[in-house]
Structure 1
Amino acid sequence: MSQTLQAAYAAKRKARRFAVQGIYEWQMTHNPAHQIEARTRAENAMHKVDLNYYHELLTEVIADHQALDLLLADVLDRDLDLLDGVERATLRLGAYELRNHVEIPYRVVLDEAIELAKHFGGADSHKYINGVLDRLAQNLRQAEKQA
């Protein structure tokens, strides 16, 4: 993999990390996305973050959370509100990427969500995230999953 491609991949990974934190903050405070984004940009060194992707993930997941929650409800074993806040934010972000970014292989979406859960979530939350998003990928990316 070229250094340029590695840098772009790392920048997207960092965008996801900041986005999941912003989504979590929004879930707890209901502050508007633009306020969360402005504060995050002011308080963090974000020169190696894909800022466009961060902005998209944060604003679109928040704006479309009800539709994402409906997608997740079909594959969850409990009510979304009963999940830990980090798990909920991670699942919303993963559901958004599975639905809206078909250019990203579903396995990459799952791997990224698992890494977010390992970094921010509880001890075994990554296993739950993997199972839920794998079931969602079966619904949203059936042809890709079967290939």
Structure 2
Amino acid sequence: MKRREAREKAVQTLFQLDNTEMSIEEAIPYIMERPIDPFYESLVKGTTEHRDEVDEALASKLEKWSLDRLPKIERTILRLAVYELLYHEDVPHKVILNEAVELCKEFGDEKSGRFVNGVLSKFEEK
């Protein structure tokens, strides 16, 4: 599985987890067939396990917005991207931003990509 597809599936899974009472163990096989892609699994589990740290970092970059006010899909994509920025140092900053914008094109509306790009661009490149 390519990383882009893994990110798409991760967004779907994280969105589902954020909007239902499902556990990770229930949500993963609902979205992903076996064998489970390791990159996909690391994105879902990592974003979920580090949600407090991700949300804290994300909230510090939001201007005039709170996490609760964000549209659910943008919040999900931002959480995934911030998780990657913080914990996947092997992935270039620019790639993470581009992938997040592409995910917005896939799942959001025409304004989503610009908003997400603007928030993520406030994170310093390592």
Question: What TM-score does the superposition give when structure 2 sets the normalisation length?
Answer: 0.92
Q: State the shift of 1:30 in Å.
A: 3.3
Residue equivalent to 2:81 = 94
CA RMSD of aligned residues (A): 1.6
| C-alpha separation in 1, matches of 2:21 and 2:100 | 23
Amino acid at match of 2:18: Q
1:65 matched to 2:51: yes
Q: State the shift of 1:52 in Å.
A: 0.2
| C-alpha separation in 2, matches of 1:21 and 1:38 | 12
Listed one character per residue, the Cα deviations across residues 72-128 of structure 1 (whole Å, up to 9, x for unaligned) are 011012101101111000000000111111111100000000000111012211000
Residue equivalent to 1:30 = 21
Q: Name whichever structure is richer in helix by fraction.
A: 1
Amino acid at match of 2:107: F
Picking from 89, 96, 100, the partner of 1:113 is 100
Residue equivalent to 1:6 = none
Picking from 30, 36, 60, the partner of 1:39 is 30
Distance 1:121 1:20, change over 3 A: same
Residue equivalent to 1:127 = 114
Amino acid at match of 1:94: A
Sequence identity, in percent? 32
1:81 matched to 2:68: yes
Shift >6 Å, 4+ stretches: none
Mark the structure with the bigger radius of gyration: 1
| C-alpha separation in 1, matches of 2:89 and 2:42 | 15
Count of residues paired in the alignment: 125
